[in-house]
Amino acid sequence: MKRPHVIVHMAMTLDGKTATVERRRTDWTSQTDKRRLIENRAMADAVMVGARTAETARTSLSILDERLQRARVRRGLPPHPLRVIVSAHCSFRKNIRAFERQVSPVLVFTSSRAPKAKLAWLARLPDVHVYVVGKKDVNVPRMLDILARDWKVKRLQCEGGANLNGSLFTAHAVDELHVTLCPWVFGGAQAPTLADGKGFPRSEILKAKLLRCEQFGQELFLQYRIL
């Protein structure tokens, strides 16, 4: 199977959390971090989120900055990346921003557990493409194969959340990790981390190599290659 180069891009607190226990979107990173997220998104062919992040993030997953749009076009890319939502149950609200701002195709990867009525509703939306890949969960290698072959995605930026990241790591499908380490402690066993899900037993843990480390004010931007 083919797959794109996959980058997980996240902000994380000193205690390894990526949101507070309420799992609501809160503004806790710097403007520099937000700008870096968008600049990196502008380098990607596709941007991917899980169902909960699609709902909580107040973003259409597109590129608002016209200079970045023009730079993409100069590189032979469309102004906005493809937008990808992963959701076994299609449990996301209908009014998420990615559907409201029609600037590039939205690909929904789901499973046989998705209700027929929601699939029928999605099929009526303009430029929304639904793939049922998997019985219980979305089969990550098949999803990445479809993105690489049918949509020519070479570089995919995953912007969370914890459960989607966890399933990408479990499938050994992450090439790079971009983390902004932020000067907060959120605490809470139920607060999301960078990668939730089952986790790895000691014998199978993943290793990474530090490629870059930059300080911006109180934040550290870390770029790792997953080995």
Ligand X SMILES: NC(=O)c1ccc[n+]([C@@H]2O[C@H](COP(=O)([O-])OP(=O)(O)OC[C@H]3O[C@@H](n4cnc5c(N)ncnc54)[C@H](OP(=O)(O)O)[C@@H]3O)[C@@H](O)[C@H]2O)c1
The one-character DSSP state at 202 is G
11 binds ligand X (CB under 6 A): yes
Fill in the per-residue mask, 163 to 182: x = in contact with ligand X (CB under 6 A), - = not in contact.
xx--x---------------
51 binds ligand X (CB under 6 A): yes
How far is the C-alpha of 90 from the C-alpha of 92, rounded, in Å?
Answer: 6
Nearer to ligand X, 75 or 116 (CB): 116
Closest CA relative to residue 3, chosen from 152, 109, 136, 128:
152
52 binds ligand X (CB under 6 A): yes
Nearer to ligand X, 157 or 163 (CB): 163
Q: Where are the alpha helices (DSSP H) in the chain?
A: 31-42, 51-56, 66-74, 97-100, 116-124, 140-150, 162-170
- Residue 13: strand pairing partners: 182
Query: Using CB under 6 A, which residues numbered 85 to 124 contact ligand X?
Result: 86-91, 111
18 binds ligand X (CB under 6 A): yes
Closest CA relative to residue 52, chosen from 26, 21, 82, 87:
87
| Cβ atoms of 101 and 64 closer than 8 Å | no
- Report the residue from 8, 82, 130, 140 that binds ligand X according to the rule CB under 6 A: 140
CB of 116 to ligand X, least distance (A): 15
Nearer to ligand X, 71 or 119 (CB): 119
Residues that bind ligand X (CB under 6 A): 10-11, 18-19, 23, 25, 49-53, 56, 86-91, 111, 137-138, 140, 159-164, 167, 192, 196
